[in-house]
């Protein structure tokens, strides 16, 4: 990783992703090995920036800012954590390592693969629960209510990084309703891709890239539409970090001449019980 960017991430976190890359099958980690060659690194960066400018930096910023927000939530006394669509994320290992009951939610195949990785590399602990739940077919509300370590009265942090995009509007509404009932007082940290801010070519590039890995972007909402939807379910805006802010606060402090993907936002909302 670039030294200036690398300096902004804790060693533990970088180690987690190094372990992850080694764990992935060869057909997936060849890219990482190729990036160690300067020429190939430049070529890949050029190609990615041509197809979808800002995609690379959006990942770096997403990891950086969400880590900051999670640390802040920990300082403010969050008591348990739910990570929707946890994927290969480090956050569950991080918060559970600090003693907080942490529930990583993902589809059965992904949850199993993740649990194998966590076990193999010593990230599993007594506070981390890898939950096999497809939120479209299983009620997350029922699942967590029946989980012996989930406490609905705990102040809960719900993280949905790169997640809501995979649900359509109806599925998103259903999930928000369940989360509202499950723990009335919680904080939500989510990402959003407001695709209307991309031009036709870059939008096509974005959606085809996702289709290439067999997935699809389903949530048809722009930034304002998404905020409006969340407010319908009693969420109040705490903070929105825009791609412009990420450019100004973070990227421009480095010598890296790349910007953050247009339309990318990190949003923190508080859910307050309507009563
Ligand atoms: C783009 S990845 C994000 C992973 C991780 N949060 C991150 O940002 O690095 C989206 C994740 O959501 C999971 N996911 C998608 N649809 C889901 C569903 N219906 N129920 C549970 N998990 C789902 C996928 O399996 C995948 O791990």
List per-residue pLDDT tens for the chain, 275 residues long: 677 888 889 999 999 999 999 999 887 777 777 888 888 888 988 898 999 999 999 999 999 999 999 999 999 999 999 999 999 999 999 999 999 999 999 999 999 999 999 999 999 999 999 999 999 999 999 999 999 999 999 999 999 999 999 999 999 999 999 999 998 889 999 999 999 999 999 999 988 988 888 888 888 899 999 999 999 999 999 999 999 999 888 777 777 888 899 999 999 999 987 65
d(CA 96, CA 68): 16
Query: What is the pLDDT at residue 27?
Result: 76
CA-closest residue to ligand 1 atom 1? 162
Cα 198 to middle of ligand 1, angstroms:
23
CA-closest residue to ligand 1 atom 4? 87
Cα 17 to middle of ligand 1, angstroms:
17
State if residue 86 touches ligand 1 by the CB under 6 angstroms criterion: yes
Inter-residue contact 230 to 179 (CB < 8 Å): no
- Domains of the chain in sequence order: 1-51 (no CATH), 54-271 (3.40.50.150)
Inter-residue contact 244 to 54 (CB < 8 Å): no
Beta-ladder partners of 237: 269
Most ligand 1 atoms within 8 A of CB, residue of 87, 135, 189 to mutate: 87
Cα 275 to middle of ligand 1, angstroms:
32
């Amino acid at each position: 990783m670039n030294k200036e960017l690398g300096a902004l991430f804790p060693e533990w976190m970088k180690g987690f992703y190094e372990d992850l890359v080694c764990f992935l099958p060869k057909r997936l980690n060849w890219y990482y090995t190729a990036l160690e060659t300067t020429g190939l690194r430049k070529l890949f960066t050029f190609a990615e920036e041509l197809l979808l400018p800002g995609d690379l930096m959006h990942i770096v910023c997403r990891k950086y800012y969400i880590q900051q927000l999670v640390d802040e939530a920990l300082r403010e006394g969050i008591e348990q954590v739910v990570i929707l669509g946890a994927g290969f994320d480090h956050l569950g290992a991080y918060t559970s390592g600090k003693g907080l009951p942490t529930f990583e939610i993902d589809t059965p195949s992904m949850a199993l693969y993740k649990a194998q990785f966590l076990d193999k590399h010593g990230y599993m602990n007594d506070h981390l629960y890898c939950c096999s739940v497809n939120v479209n077919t299983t009620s997350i509300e029922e699942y967590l209510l029946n989980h012996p370590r989930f406490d609905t009265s705990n102040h809960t942090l719900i993280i949905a990084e790169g997640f809501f995009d995979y649900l359509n509007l109806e599925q998103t509404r259903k999930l928000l309703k369940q989360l509202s009932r499950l723990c009335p007082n919680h904080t939500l940290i989510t990402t959003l891709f407001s695709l209307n801010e991309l031009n036709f070519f870059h939008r096509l590039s974005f959606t085809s890239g996702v289709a290439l890995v067999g997935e699809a972007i389903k949530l048809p909402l722009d930034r304002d539409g998404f905020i409006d939807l969340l407010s319908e379910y009693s969420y109040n805006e705490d903070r929105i970090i825009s791609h412009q802010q990420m450019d100004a606060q973070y990227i421009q402090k480095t010598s890296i001449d790349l910007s953050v993907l247009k339309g990318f936002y990190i949003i923190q909302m508080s859910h307050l019980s309507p009563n």
